[in-house]
C-alpha cells in the first residue's frame, strides 16, 4: 500500500545529511513537494502518481545536491571535472552513460585505493615485502577500476582526467 507521507519523508531523507543547511533544505523541499502533490491531486491523480511526478519534476535528490555542492569542496570539484571528461568522452562516442554516478564512483574508488595503499605502506614500512605488496595493490586497484561493470572506458577517461589535471595533452583527438 502506498503511503504518501512515508514516501515524501523517505525521499527527503535521500537528501544528504552532511551539510549544515541540509535540514532546512529538507524542510523547504518537503513543503515544495507537498505543494506540487496537492496541485496534482486536485487534477485527479492518485497519491502515487502525484508523488512520482512531483519528485520527477523536482529532480533526483542527488542531482539537486550536486547543484548545491558545486564549488563547495575539493571532492565535488574533482567530480565535476571527471564529469566534464566523461561527458566530453561520451559526446565523442555518441554514447550515453550516467556521468554523475560514474564520476563519483571513479573518485570514490581512487580515494579508497589510495587510502588502502597508504595504510599498507605505513603498516608494512619495516617489512621487506613492502614494495611487493604495494605493487600488488596497485595491480588490484587498476583491475578493479577497469573491471567495473559497464564502465570499461573508465581507464581511458581516467587517463584523460589525469592529463587534464596536469594540463597536458589538451584537446587531443580521440585515441
Partner 1 sequence: MALPKDLVAASATPLILSILHNGDSYGYDIIQQVREFSGGELEWADGMLYPILHRLEKKQFIESYWEKAESGRKRKYYRISKGGLEELVQQRNNWEKLSQILQNLKGKHHV
CA gap 62, 85 in Å, rounded: 20
Residue 26 and residue 30: Cα distance in Å, rounded? 6
Shortest distance in whole angstroms from residue 27 CB to partner 1:
6
- Distance between CA 168 and CA 161 in Å, rounded? 10
Nearest to 68 by CA among 54, 80, 84: 80
Q: Kindly state the smallest distance separating residue 72's Cβ from partner 1, in Å.
A: 11
Nearer CB in complex with partner 1: 29/78? 29
Piece of 59-67, 91-99, 116-124, 136-144 that binds partner 1 (CB under 8 A) = 59-67
Q: Does the protein bind partner 1 through residue 9 (CB under 8 A)?
A: no
57 binds partner 1 (CB under 8 A): yes
Residue pair 14/6 in contact (Cβ under 8 Å)? The answer is no
For partner 1, the binding residues in 14-53 under the rule CB under 8 A are 21, 24-25, 27-32, 34-36, 38
* Whole-angstrom distance, CA of residue 58 vs CA of residue 130: 51
Asked if residue 72 binds partner 1 (CB under 8 A), the reply is no
Piece of the chain touching partner 1 by CB under 8 A; list 60-68, 88-96, 104-112, 115-123: 60-68
Q: Which of 102, 27, 24 is nearest to 62 (CA)?
A: 102
Q: Which residues of 52-74 are buried (b: 16+ CB within 10 A; e: fewer)?
A: bebbeeeeebeebbbeebeeeee
Alpha carbons within 13 angstroms on the beta-carbon side of residue 32 total: 15
Q: Is 67 in the site for partner 1 (CB under 8 A)?
A: yes
Q: Does 63 bind partner 1 (CB under 8 A)?
A: yes
Segment interacting with partner 1 (CB under 8 A) among 43-51, 55-63, 89-97, 165-173: 55-63
Q: According to CB under 8 A, which one of 68, 113, 130, 133 is a site residue for partner 1?
A: 68
Binding footprint of partner 1 on the chain (CB under 8 A):
21, 24-25, 27-32, 34-36, 38, 57-59, 63-64, 67-68
Amino acid at each position: 500500500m502506498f503511503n504518501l507521507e512515508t514516501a515524501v519523508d523517505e525521499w527527503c531523507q535521500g537528501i544528504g545529511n552532511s551539510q549544515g543547511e541540509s535540514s532546512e533544505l529538507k524542510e523547504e523541499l518537503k513543503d515544495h513537494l507537498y505543494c506540487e502533490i496537492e496541485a496534482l491531486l486536485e487534477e485527479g491523480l492518485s497519491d502515487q502518481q502525484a508523488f512520482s511526478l512531483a519528485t520527477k519534476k523536482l529532480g533526483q535528490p542527488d542531482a539537486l545536491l550536486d547543484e548545491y555542492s558545486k564549488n563547495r569542496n575539493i571532492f565535488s570539484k574533482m567530480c565535476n571535472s571527471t564529469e566534464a571528461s566523461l561527458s566530453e568522452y561520451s559526446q565523442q562516442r555518441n554514447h550515453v552513460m550516467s556521468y554523475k554516478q560514474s564520476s563519483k564512483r571513479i573518485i570514490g574508488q581512487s580515494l579508497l585505493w589510495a587510502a588502502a595503499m597508504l595504510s599498507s605502506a605505513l603498516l608494512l614500512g619495516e617489512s621487506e615485502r613492502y614494495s611487493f605488496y604495494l605493487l600488488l595493490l596497485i595491480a588490484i586497484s587498476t583491475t578493479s577500476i577497469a573491471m567495473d561493470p559497464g564502465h570499461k572506458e573508465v581507464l581511458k577517461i581516467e587517463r584523460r582526467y589525469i592529463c587534464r589535471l596536469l594540463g597536458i595533452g589538451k584537446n587531443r583527438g580521440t585515441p
